[in-house]
């Protein structure tokens, strides 16, 4: 049973101590591991240089989904999450309409800046158009008969992004899931 607890200790220390992890890797690969003296008793010349260690082991950036970064941008610039998460049952249609006008304008600005969204098809909805043979950007609605190209009525012009420039996130792992931080107004 003591080997089991030893394995748990080695596993944990390998996760949290990079130097120890390298020693375990060398040991497992069959290379003789260099004896490691405690830092206090190591001769001055053999102590690892903290600056050199920092340069060789660049800290890994915490990961965050670009979707969360986009959502945080829409919240910060258009208050979209606040609007969608708040119950609107108690508000009049006029109050909701007034709020939506600002959210619509600001969210559209974010989408334009980050994605430069534009219609795929230039015709007006309701116009008769021809869906090309390579219709990867078209969805055919109804019964498809015969070979392409297909003739039909434009129901939706579709959207495409001319660019995708979601801001790079620069936070730490504690804030990786935060869409909007808590705001506290200081007293006095």
Rounded CA separation 3/14 (Å): 16
Give me the residue spans of the domains in the chain.
1-34, 66-140+148-175
Among 60, 170, 165, 78, residue whose Cα is nearest residue 178:
170
pLDDT digits (tens, 9 = 90+) for 153-188: 999 999 999 999 999 988 898 999 999 999 999 998
The pTM score is: 0.61
16 vs 116, higher pLDDT: 116
Q: Which residues pair with 153 in a beta bridge?
A: 128
Rounded CA separation 154/140 (Å): 10
> Stretch 120-132: mean pLDDT, rounded?
94
pLDDT the model gives residue 126:
96
> Stretch 128-154: mean pLDDT, rounded?
91
pLDDT the model gives residue 17:
74
Rounded CA separation 117/163 (Å): 8
Q: pLDDT band at 12, cuts 50/70/90?
A: low
| 3-state DSSP of 106-150 | HHHHHHHHHHCEEECCCCCCCCEEEECCCCCCCCCCCCCCCCCCE
CB atoms within 10 A of CB 164: 10
Helix (H, G, I), strand (E, B) or coil at 40: coil
132 vs 26, higher pLDDT: 132
- Compute the mean pLDDT over every residue in the chain, rounded to the nearest whole number: 83
pLDDT the model gives residue 94:
95
Helix 2-16 vs helix 18-28: crossing angle, to nearest 10: 120
pLDDT the model gives residue 184:
95
DSSP code, position 47: S
């Amino acid at each position: 049973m003591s080997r089991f607890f030893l394995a748990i200790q080695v596993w944990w220390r390998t996760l949290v101590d990079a130097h120890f992890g390298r020693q375990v890797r060398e040991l497992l690969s069959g290379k003789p591991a260099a004896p490691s003296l405690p830092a206090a008793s190591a001769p001055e010349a053999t102590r690892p240089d903290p600056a050199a260690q920092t340069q060789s082991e660049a800290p890994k950036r915490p990961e965050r989904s670009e979707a969360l970064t986009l959502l945080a941008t829409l919240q910060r610039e258009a208050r979209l999450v606040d609007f969608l998460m708040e119950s609107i049952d108690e508000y009049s249609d006029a109050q909701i309409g007034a709020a939506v006008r600002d959210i619509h304008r600001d969210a559209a600005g974010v989408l334009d800046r980050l994605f430069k969204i534009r219609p795929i098809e230039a015709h007006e909805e309701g116009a008769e158009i021809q869906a090309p043979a390579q219709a990867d950007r078209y969805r055919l609605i109804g019964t498809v008969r015969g070979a392409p190209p297909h003739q039909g009525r434009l129901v939706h012009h579709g959207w495409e992004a001319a660019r995708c420039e979601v801001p790079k996130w620069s936070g730490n792992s504690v804030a990786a899931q935060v869409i909007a931080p808590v705001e506290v107004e200081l007293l006095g």
